[in-house]
Structures are given as C-alpha cells and as structure tokens.
Structure 1
Amino acid sequence: MRSEPRTLLAWLCDRDNLTYRRFDEKFNQTGVRLFGHDPSNPTCGEAQFRRWTAGKLIGLPIPESCRILEAMWPEYMAAQLFGPPPKDDSQAPAFDLEERVQMTARNAHDGADATAAASISDNTIDELHDQVVSLARRYHGLPAAKAYEEGDSLRLEVERQRDRTQVPVQQQSLMIFNGQTAALLAVAAFDLGYFPSARTLARTAAVYGEASRFAPLQAFADGTLAYISYHTGDATEAAAKAQRALSYGGLGDVARRRLHSIAARAHAYLGDISSAQRAIQLSEESDRSMRDELHDSVGGEFGFSPERLAMSNSTTALLIGDADQAEAEARRALVLLDQRPQGERSAHVRAGAAADLAHARLLADDVDGAAEALTPVWKVPIEQRNTGIVVRTARIGRYLARPVYHGAQLPKDLREQIEDFTRVSPPYRLGPPVSLLAIAP
C-alpha cells in the first residue's frame, strides 16, 4: 500500500502526477526559463528528489533551487513545500477543477515559453548549411591543412549552435552538419597522413549519420573507413566496409559509383582479379538517374566525378597488372579534367592520373614516356601533395628501384626527383611515413 506523502512537495507531485522523470524535465525547463542556458543551473538527481519528497532534508536547498520550485508552484513558498502536506478536509472537494485547469494552462504556457527560448533562427541553420556546402565544394582547391582548419572552426560553430536549441528539427539539421563536417575532417586528416585520427573522425561521421537516420552520410563515412583500411594494409576490412555501405538504402548513383570503385581497389589488392573487374564494371554502370542529398546536392568532396572514377579505376588496373586498361583510364581522367572550367580542375586528380599513366608506361618498359607523363606531378604545390599523390609516386619510385634499372641514368634521376617531391609533402613532414611505405605491393 502506498504511504502517505510526508511533504507538501511530495503531495503536489502526486497530485500533478509528476514521476521523477517528469519532475526532472519540468525542473530543468523552469531553470532555463529563469536563468537561461547556463551549465551552472541547479539540477535534481533522483536520490535528491527522494530526500526532498521524503522530508529528510535539513534546512532548505540552495536559493536557486528554491526559486525554481517556487516558479513551478507559485502559490507556495519554498519553506511550505518542504513542510508537511495539507491535512484532509472532508468538507472540501477532492480538488478545485478551476484551479487545476488554470495551473495546467500556466504550466503548458511555461513549457512553450521555455521551448521557444531554446531555439535559433532558421537563418542560422541556412548559413551553417551554406558553409558546409562551400567547404565541400572548395576542398579540391585547398591545402589539406587549410581545409582541416576551416572544418574544425565550422565544427565548433555547429556545436555552439546545437547547445542553443532544443527544437527537434533544428537539432536534426545540426546533427547532420556535425556529421558532414566530421566527414570532411576525416578526409583532410587522411590527406595529411594522420590515419588513426582520420579513422576516428570517419567513425564520428558514421555515428551522426546513424543517429540522424541519414543513410548517405553513413555510406560516405563507411567508404572513407574502407579506403583508410586499404591504405593501412587491411584490404579485407576495406572490401567489407565498402560492401556494407552499398547495402544502405537511399543512395544515389554517385554514392554507389564511389563505393564500387573503393571495393574494386580492395579486391585488386587481395589478388581477386575477377571481383575487382566486376566492381570496376559496376562502378561504370551506376547510371539509374538516382540522386541523394549528400553526394549530389552537396557534392564537392562528397561527390565522385567521372574523372575521379577514371583515376581510381586506373589505379585498380595497375594493381591487377593490366597496363593497357590503366593507361586508358588515366588518359580518360586527364581528358575529362581538361573539359572542366579552370577553377573546377582538381590538382589531386590531375597528379594522380598522371602518376598512374607514368606507372602504366613503366609496366610497358617505356621509361621516357613515364618521365613525360610525370611532368604535371612536379607542378603540384607542396601543401597540396596529399596522401594519394605521395602513395602513387612512392610506388613508382619502388618500381624504378628494380635491378633491371640499376645503372640507367633516367630511372636514377626520376627516383631522386620522387624522393625530393615526397620529402617535403605534408604526409611526410606532418604524418608518420612508415604507414605510407607499408601499403603498396
């Protein structure tokens, strides 16, 4: 049998059907209304709530807690709330309906006031969206270190705005922005050679994608985790991550194209030539006029352009030893890139495709042709020599170190040029070079 309430506070909670959870929500909302969003606002844990309602408190709580309780029940002072409950009056009605209706109306209005105060302008949401889109679309032209700095500043601003709103639709939007920013930071960390941090940031993006039910973000994050796994020597994990990402619903053609190309690279590294060739074919067949709100609507670094696909498939062809296909795909990447306006041409894609073209020519024992193909690579500014470019040139350097080229001047010159090129690159200056040396077969 339920015991009689020992305090007026307990009696009021029973009357108003306030469980601890409901009391806690109302207590916190009232605190925000009185004191604003302040980390120092008083709180009431469940054990404390039990002491308050059981009459076991000596004296009164802190003044701020008393103010909140008095705002919750304005007809009573704090000292009354911690005093004994009202005595039964058999002549009085069970409750005063008019007073109860008025109290409910007041509480509902107070709750609405607290919610309205805990929101931000929709213009702020739009501005943050535009900043995420801008960074994604400018990424190809920025040094990775600069992109990281901008991304981190944007992440902090999104977090600041998340703390200011309790409106669900705004929280949803800001959660997606958090995930998109984390995804861009993961790419930048990868480009700088910080693989463990890149992996953590990609997982962070995946968590936000899952929490916000935004499948394209989950797929992009898993794709990023896949190529991080590939570049750190775990191609089996890379293939599994890419396949899992492909299982998500709501993906557009661009997303699927990117994931198939990543899977192709992983299969090629594992020596599964038929699976690699099938994945290349699927990456080029993904044309169902399907779009999604990340890879297409935001685009930029979240996109996967035709020239980038050609460059990626060229690298896969190199891994399976198909020099003719590698050269054809690398040439196609360069032609497609030259068809874009000057400001939209990616130095990363140009250098990557040029390096793959050079490597394909080396497989055909055309050292002079390889040297010619490498010309655009040397023009890449130091701060834009990211992991992908460094890995490709390092692979060429190792190929030129084969005994067959010992004593030949041009291979020696190219090796030295590659060493000079990579020595000043951000992944070697800032990141751990051991991981970069361990990934290419």
Structure 2
Amino acid sequence: MGHPTLLALLAAQRHWTSADAVAAFGEVAQSMGSTYIVSERQWERWCAAKVKGLPRPLCCRILENLFERPVRDLFAPPPLMTPLPPRGAPTEGDRAYWREPYESGPHAGSAVIDEEIVTVADDSAQFTRRIRRVDERALDQFDADVSQLAVDYLRRPPYFAFRRVAELRNEVFAVLDSRHPLDQERRLYLVAGKLCALLAHISADLDHPHEAETHVRTALVCAELVEDDSLRSYARWVQSNVAYWRGDYRRAADIARTAREAATTGSDLLRLVSQETRAIAAMRDRSAFAQVVATAIDVRENAEPTDEPGVFRFSPGKAAYYVSEAYHAMGSPADLQLAQQQARESVHLLSADPDDQGPSLLAAATLDLVAAQLTAGELDGAAESLRGVLDTRPELRTVPVVQRVRRIDQQLALTKGTSLILDLREQTALFIAHPAATPEIPGR
C-alpha cells in the first residue's frame, strides 16, 4: 500500500513506530535548544495527511532537520521516484528495502530504478518495431525542450534528467502516432532520435549498458530516416562509450573509427576521434595510437566554435581529458608527463567555460589529473586534487566518474601505506559505494 505523505514513507523506510518517530523528533528538538514535543496522535495525523496547512514554524524547522527535506515536500504525497535512504550507514532494514551497492557492486541501484530503466528501453524497442507517419503541433517547443534537456544534463543528477527525457520522448512517440506533412514528420523523427540518444547516454552513465544500446539503435533508426549525421555521430559515440566502459576496447575503437568517416562537423569529428584515441590507448596499440592522438589534438586545436547545446557539444575541455586518459594508459614516462599536461589543460578549459562546466565533466578531468600526479609520485598534489572530487554529491557520481575513482583506488593500493594513503583509500571506498543510480527527490 502506498503512503499518503513523504513523511510517512520516510518514517516507514526507517522502520519507525509512532513512538520511535516522536522520540526522534524530541531528540532533534533538544539538539536545537527546544523543548517542543509532539504526541503520537499528532504524528499519525501528519503522516496520514489529515491536517490543514503546515505546522508552526519551529515544528517545521525540527522536521526539516530530522529528515533533511523541505517541509512542504514532507507533507506532500511521495514522488513517483523512490526517495533517497536516510544518511549514514544502512541498517539491516535499509539493506532489505534497497538493493544496496555496498554488497551488489559499484553501480547497483534500487530494483525500482532498474525496472523503470528497462521498461523505458522496451518502449524504445517497441517504437523501432512500429514506425509509422505521425503529426505534431508544437515543433518549436519540442526543439527548445530538447536543447534545454541537453544543457540540464550537464548540471543536474542523471536520474533527474532521465525522467524528464523519457517523459518528453513518450510525448513525441504519441504524436508520431498520427500522420503529418513530411517536413513536420522529419522534425519529429529528429527530436525522437535526439531524445533516444540522450536516454542512451543517461542509461550508460547509470550503468545500464544493455538499455543504452537499445536506445542507441532507436536513435540510429531515426538518424537514418532524417539523414542527420550529427545525431548519428552522437549515438555512435554513446555506443562506443558503452563498449569502452565494458572493457571491449577493440569494439569501442572500431565503432568510433567507422562513425567518424561520416562526421561532418568539428564537434562530431572531435567527439569520435577523441573516443577512438582513448580506446586504442587502452589496447596499448602504440603504432595506431601515435597517428590517432595526433589527429585528435589537431582537430581540437583547429575546431571552430559550435552552437550545439549541452551534451550535444563535445568541447575542447572534454577532448583534452580524453587525450589525458589515453596518454596515461600508454604509460611511458614521456606519456605520463603529457597526460598531466593534458589533464591540467582540461581542468582549465572546463573551469573557464560556463557553458561547458558540468560537475561530472570537471570531476572526470580532475581524476585524470590525479592519476597522472600519482604516477609521477606527486602524492600531496594528487591528494589535494582528489579531495575536491570526493565531495561530489552521490547522485552526480556517474559510471565514468566512479570508474575513474576505482582506478585511483587501485593506484593508491600500490603505494606505500602511509596514513595519508589509508585515509584516501577509505574515502574512495565510500565514494564508490554510493554511485549515481540513486535518484534525487524532486524539488531539492
């Protein structure tokens, strides 16, 4: 049975009786210097939404401190998303309610999240199987919404973006159930393709590679229908990325290389050649690496500014940290020096470009710098750089970020076990245990 308020749901997740809740409320009130108390009957009325308006201001402040949620959210119906569990180490009850990443892997989310991501991927697959002509009245609004979502994805937690993109994609699919003039139909397929490509990107960041590839296939169908090379390039890059983070570097390189043959803009070419570079480096193919990394740097240095919004733009700052990662993978002393140089350039570019700076991108670039500093024996500098990343909120810890932190932890494990190393390893373990698969509460 559902809960009438978020307050009731959060209390249930903590396995509180009314007496437990009242006691916890009193403890928080005391810590705030107040003697305010609440009866069990009043607590039950709050949970059941049987009160008008909000409690008195002092009571609201106590509730907000107790649950770390805005009081208006607490007295509202629970969001469709599963809320975050209480902070701190999970109890056995919490472990039963959540499919915790502590025991099931670094990127596991709740079963509710997994099921929804799979369901949305199934919708994309169904669309691919039943393409037909359809109609739309707000094409300009759809275009604007897609652009805004692409920008938001750089700045908001990925699961928040996932819901919004999925909802808009469903609207477009619904519109594509009626016939329309060819020019309008073309725009609709392009919008649908971009939204599916975004869903692929988000699913991959939340460690759902199978669903990501399903969305990619749908995006590519749309790209072929409208003959759009930029959409095709972006979708292929996501597909290559999925293979890369699975450790299938050969496939990642092949996808990127094949796709860049059709890349027609600077941003598309930069995205694909950068991806191919790091995939080839991961294979330790030095002969192929020398040529492709030179191409990647040349394309980056000569790339013209583009007006693609948000994640549809592959920026020089992002390209620099791909090259940094590639040099680090090659591993020679000269390569490692270049890796640190490229990582510093990436951090500088991402920090200086407000249109480009998303927390996940900046974290990834900084982690590449940390890796290069550790390899060069610059432990103090690496620790300083790493601490900034370890403060990243859990909902922003995407697969690329967590995987990089995991690599840093492996480097730390090979370093002499000083107190600083032990402290950093403890912090990286906590970071890895809380990846971005957990959604944020809307409105926070």
Contact 1:158 1:174 in 2 (8 A): yes
Q: Deviations over 1:30-58 (max 9, x none)?
A: xxxxxxxxxxxxxxxxxxxxxxxxxxxxx
Contact 2:300 2:316 in 1 (8 A): no
Aligned counterparts of 1:286 and 1:353: Cα–Cα separation in 2: 19
Contact 2:135 2:185 in 1 (8 A): no
Residue type matched to 1:333 in 2? S
Once the two structures are TM-superposed, the CA of residue 340 in structure 1 deviates from its matched residue by 2.2
Structural RMSD (CA):
2.0
Contact 1:263 1:276 in 2 (8 A): no
Q: Deviations over 1:168-210 (max 9, x none)?
A: 1111111111110001011111111111111211122112111
Q: Deviations over 1:222-278 (max 9, x none)?
A: 1111111111111111111011101115x2011101101100111011111232232
- Is 1:347 aligned to residue 359 of structure 2? yes
Map 1:164-313 → 2, pairs under 5 A = 164-248=178-262, 251-286=264-299, 296-313=306-323
Aligned counterparts of 2:308 and 2:167: Cα–Cα separation in 1: 19
Pick closer, same or farther for the CA change 1:287–1:377 going to 2, 3 Å.
Answer: closer
Once the two structures are TM-superposed, the CA of residue 297 in structure 1 deviates from its matched residue by 4.2
Aligned counterparts of 2:316 and 2:197: Cα–Cα separation in 1: 21
Other structure's SS at 1:267 match: helix
Q: Deviations over 1:5-64 (max 9, x none)?
A: xxxxxxxxxxxxxxxxxxxxxxxxxxxxxxxxxxxxxxxxxxxxxxxxxxxxxxxxxxxx
Query: Which residue of structure 2 aligns with residue 329 of structure 1?
Result: 342
Map 1:95-110 → 2, pairs under 5 A = none
Residue type matched to 1:286 in 2? V
Query: Which residue of structure 2 aligns with residue 368 of structure 1?
Result: 380
Contact 1:271 1:320 in 2 (8 A): yes
Aligned counterparts of 1:288 and 1:358: Cα–Cα separation in 2: 24
Which deviates more from structure 2 when the two are superposed, residues 255-264 or residues 408-417?
Answer: 408-417
Structure 1, unmatched stretches of 5+, are 1-117, 431-441
Pick closer, same or farther for the CA change 1:290–1:172 going to 2, 3 Å.
Answer: farther
Query: Which residue of structure 1 aligns with residue 329 of structure 2?
Result: 319
Pick closer, same or farther for the CA change 1:423–1:288 going to 2, 3 Å.
Answer: closer
Residue type matched to 1:401 in 2? A
Identity over aligned residues, as a percent?
30
Residue type matched to 2:254 in 1? A
Query: Which residue of structure 2 aligns with residue 412 of structure 1?
Result: 422
Contact 2:256 2:275 in 1 (8 A): yes
Pick closer, same or farther for the CA change 1:339–1:218 going to 2, 3 Å.
Answer: same
Residue type matched to 1:170 in 2? Q
Aligned counterparts of 2:280 and 2:246: Cα–Cα separation in 1: 15
Once the two structures are TM-superposed, the CA of residue 408 in structure 1 deviates from its matched residue by 2.1
Residue type matched to 2:298 in 1? E
Aligned counterparts of 1:284 and 1:379: Cα–Cα separation in 2: 31
Other structure's SS at 2:429 match: helix
Contact 2:340 2:373 in 1 (8 A): yes
Q: Deviations over 1:121-179 (max 9, x none)?
A: 3xx11110111111112210010001100110110111122223321111111111111
Aligned counterparts of 1:200 and 1:272: Cα–Cα separation in 2: 30
Other structure's SS at 1:271 match: coil
Aligned counterparts of 1:168 and 1:288: Cα–Cα separation in 2: 39
Provide TM-score, normalisation by structure 2.
0.65
Q: Deviations over 1:265-311 (max 9, x none)?
A: 110111112322322221222279888xxx94433101111111111
Contact 2:310 2:356 in 1 (8 A): no
- Is 1:380 aligned to residue 388 of structure 2? no
Structure 2, unmatched stretches of 5+, are 1-133, 440-444
Contact 1:136 1:298 in 2 (8 A): no
Contact 2:135 2:177 in 1 (8 A): no
Give runs of ≥4 in structure 1 deviating > 6 Å: 287-291
Pick closer, same or farther for the CA change 1:290–1:357 going to 2, 3 Å.
Answer: closer
Q: How many residues align?
A: 303
Residue type matched to 2:369 in 1? L
Aligned counterparts of 2:404 and 2:370: Cα–Cα separation in 1: 10
Aligned counterparts of 1:158 and 1:260: Cα–Cα separation in 2: 32
Aligned counterparts of 1:195 and 1:278: Cα–Cα separation in 2: 30
Pick closer, same or farther for the CA change 1:190–1:164 going to 2, 3 Å.
Answer: same
Query: Which residue of structure 2 aligns with residue 150 of structure 1?
Result: 164
Residue type matched to 1:332 in 2? E
Query: Which residue of structure 1 aligns with residue 93 of structure 2?
Result: none
Residue type matched to 2:317 in 1? E
